[in-house]
Amino acid sequence: MTTDWDEVARLVLTSRELDRLEEEELVPAKQVLYQFSARGHDMAQVLLGLHLKDGDAACGYYRSRPLLLALGVPLADALGSGMGRSGGYSGGRDIGVVFNYPNPGGAHALPMCGGVGAQYTPAAGWAQAVRYKAEVLKEQARGNIALVLGGDASCATGGFWSALTIATTQGLPLLFYVEDNGYGISVPSTYQTPGQDIAANLASFKGLTIFNGDGTDPVEAARLIGEAMAHVRGGSGPALLRLTVPRLEGHSYQDTQTYKSDDEIAAEWARDPLPKLKSHCAALQIGEQRWEELQEAVRWDVARAREEAEARPVLDPARVADDVFFSGTHSAVGGRAGLSLDGTHDEPRPDGQRINMVTAIRRVLDQELDANPKMCVFGEDVGPKGGVHAVTLGLQEKFGRDRVFDTSLNEEGIVGRAVGMALAGLLPVPEIQFRKYAEPATEQINDTGTMRWRTANRFAAPMVLRVPGGFFKCGDPWHSQTNEVQFVHNPGWKVAVPSNAEDAVGLLRMALRGNDPVLFFEHRAMLDDSWARRPWPGDAYVLPFGRAKKTREGDRITIVTWGAMVPRCEAAAEGLSADVIDLRTLQPWDRAMVLDSVRRTRRCLIVHEDLRTAGFGAEIAAVVADEAFLDLDAPVARVTMPDIPSPHHPSLLEAAVPSVGRIRAEIDRLVGF
């Protein structure tokens, strides 16, 4: 690729003028509240961005605006987003330095996140989707890549190492670009990387090609960037490109850099790539006159962009809750990979003998994989082993390693990879082996749920995250946790907690054909429980989220529950006229059915396996107290686990988990109140 140095100069000067305007005028006037200067990082980013093409994706971080300029982001968006105005990256919902750019006909800038290192694994997912589309779907030629940008400090994060493992073990077309300025805010890179050179330390990392040099020298930077891009685009596997650059301003506008000596600051300014770029351009007959013309044109363009940005209103507060979930309009990028709901039915049509939940879930996965080539299932041990709970048994043998595959042992990488794949238009179905193991993926889970909202429906990453959990014969603090409420508390996620095979079929198929990320909780005690067995409800059965079910009906008390507590509540209510309501989904939950029942029975008991304090039962109790208080003849009550980890010995576990006896005692207390 021949470098258009005139265009490089224009874009770098544009970046400098945007930084100047913000630092000298907009931030002091409090029109911009978060500002991160790109001075010193700008030239290399522009060179990188000009190499990207349609089908590629870049995932950057808060200092990546020069890359966005190279991709063609409108200047009014680049300014107006930092000013919190409507339009732009997020409509003012997110801070302006957290970029995204759906770029029709060009490379997408994937949604950036506030967490350092969170950009790496979604980029690995996009790279895997590139290969999947070429080899499995046969819908695009080889040659597209994913690019991920990070500072040297981000190389200490789990996300970096997870993505590195994924890319090198799978040979993915992923280019890691580390712009090394020697600092993570005030912390020097001696605390981040031994020897302060991540490229040198990774020189012997198998499956990774290293490019290392000076990001302030136009000739060297352009050469290294071209070589790294050609290597990855040519199918030779991932590469890491480290370029040293100066951070000419503080970490952010508020950072005074008092931790740097005057000599150090002077040495950094002596490495400013802008004068070097100007000299290089002069040698190419882009002389002083043309440079001044570019500067004048850039000042004019930025001034007009400022006028346009300032004319934009602040988002109407009435719209601040829009786009948390899919509401009928698809995002510009991501999703739309699930099959249509046409031809499905929401009433079960029982067929054949009763089957357990394991068989039911596996059968849905099998059917949807067979019908939808964009769907893939992955996680730890889901391949030849068939999952530690046997849910995916035989699926890899039938559909192959490209579509059902094992992953490295890193939950951040499992969910983050799924994000990139979903953004690329696939339907990822990742599995977390046990509920507690989801904790390392918390950042990616949160970022997934907020994506549609924080990008104003420009991007979305629908997936179905399967998570087994809860007690099974015995317990322990690591494998037996439920804690569903944590997922409910992550905006943008739907949460399903089926108690039986029929509901598992309907909810899983609905999740796989929906447009939002779904946490599908598979209770370990119910996977092969005899009570949970049901006849197959039909190959086209779907169960809408937010529709609870009364498993028994009566008029003395309303019992609200879900998951493994449903059969216990049924047993506890034996011989008593009671409504037992299985919520089936917690986000959304069927408030209407619960409130209607409580207003009729005038009593409410909530039973769940999770801890008492701040469990989801507290939310239900609050809603009942708020909206049906005058209908109650007794206090709203809860039977739950105490606020302790799940104990191991079966007798201790049974003492902690709500038992039929404890539930019945509370029923009797409320009925007799």
Tell me which residue has tokens 């719209």: 319
- Answer yes or no: 479 catalytic: yes
- What six digits make up the tokens of 13? 């000067």
Helix spans in 133-283 (H): 158-170, 198-201, 218-233, 262-270, 273-283
Q: Which residues pair with 379 in a beta bridge?
A: 406, 431
Give the C-alpha separation, 32 to 88, whole Å: 14
Give burial (CB, 10 Å; 0-12/13-18/19+) of 277: buried
Give burial (CB, 10 Å; 0-12/13-18/19+) of 489: middle
The helix, strand and coil proportions of the chain, stated in percent and rounded to the nearest 5, come to 40, 15, 45
Tell me which residue has tokens 């739907």: 494
Helix/strand number for the chain, H first, E second = 22, 22
Closest CA to 57 of 12, 101, 88, 95: 101
Give the C-alpha separation, 68 to 15, whole Å: 10
Give the C-alpha separation, 495 to 608, whole Å: 15
Closest CA to 438 of 416, 463, 471: 416
The CA-atom distances, in angstroms, between 54 and each of 105, 146, 427, 670 are 5, 11, 21, 64
Catalytic residue from among 251, 389, 479, 523? 479
CB contact set of 161 (below 8 Å; sequence gap of 6+) = none
Give the type of residue at 35: Q
- What six digits make up the tokens of 113? 């996140």
The CA-atom distances, in angstroms, between 524 and each of 145, 356, 474 are 40, 12, 11
The CA-atom distances, in angstroms, between 655 and each of 99, 274, 474, 613 are 51, 70, 11, 18
Nearest-Å Rg of the Cα atoms of the chain is 28
The Cβ-side half-sphere exposure at 602, using a 13 Å CA radius, reads 9
CB 429 within 8 A of CB 464: yes
Give the C-alpha separation, 541 to 506, whole Å: 5
Report the catalytic residues.
479
